[in-house]
Amino acid sequence: MVNCKYMKTIIQKDKDKMTKIKKEVLLPNLYEMWLSRENKLIKKFGENRIKYLRSSLDLIQNSDIVEIFFSKDTPLTVTNEELIFLEEEDKKTERYFVDYNLKEYYESIKNWSSRWVRQPFQTDFQVKRLLKELHDTNQMKNVSNLSITSETVLDNEINLLQENGTTKQVPLRLYRFKRMYDWVPLSWSDKIKITHKVSFKIVESLTPEQLETSEVRLS
């Protein structure tokens, strides 16, 4: 017969051991890695420029009116290296594919009809804003089959049964949406531009005036 008290003691010791490893080994190592990366970034771009790029990305991810700030007429001007940095920073946050059926009344046909709404590559802010809008406009009662799926999960492969009885591995995205939302040909920054309706201007190097503009925006 298993001694429950003994087993609990062993489990607690294992937990304490893992907590100690986390505090003394893992966390310091992660901090050292983060600090090393930050120092490299500051050396490459400058501290103020890094702050400006991060604040710009935060605006893109969490603003209702970001297209006004970074439109075709006033794009976010960055170098290729800075664009890569923005992509890396954006990948730290989860992106979601939202889809649902929305029942609406059409005056032209004097009847209700349902349409399939699909909104890919959404940030957490955008998802919450959408749900709030549906609630505030009293449309939630007309919503069905609401699905909020991680973009990462959609890229996972599943086994799809073929007509001949064999199975074939295909991305979940392809199974659910066919090729309508095949992101493969697009870069990460392309997805950001499409989703948030913003524009980037890629330059070989920044002029003193452009650097000064980023300083002003920070202040």
Strands (E), 22-166: 76-79, 96-106, 111-122, 143-150, 157-161
What count of other Cβ atoms lies within 10 Å of the Cβ of residue 184?
9
Q: What pLDDT score was predicted for residue 22?
A: 56
* Three-state secondary-structure class, residue 1: coil
Whole-angstrom CA distances from 145 to 37, 43, 142, 168 are 42, 49, 10, 27
Region 59-83 average pLDDT? 94
**Among all chains, which residue has been given the structure tokens 């330059």?**
203
Task: Please report the pLDDT score of residue 184 as a whole number.
Answer: 64
pTM equals 0.77
Does the structure show a pLDDT above 50 at 10? no
Query: Tens digit of pLDDT for each residue in 31-62?
Result: 788 888 889 999 999 999 999 999 999 999 99
Least confident of 93-97, 121-125, 169-173: 169-173
Q: What is the pLDDT of residue 26?
A: 62
- pLDDT computed for residue 173 by the predictor: 87
Q: How confident is the model at residue 155 (pLDDT cuts 50, 70, 90)?
A: confident
C-alpha distances in Å from residue 19, one per residue of 6, 10, 22, 25, 142: 20, 14, 5, 10, 48
Report the 10 Å Cβ neighbour count for 172.
Answer: 16
What pLDDT, on a 0 to 100 scale, did the predictor assign at position 211?
78
**79 DSSP 8-state letter:** E
The per-residue DSSP string of 142-169 comes to GEEEEEEEEHHHHTSEEEEE-TTS-EEE
Instruction: Provide the pLDDT for residue 63.
Output: 92
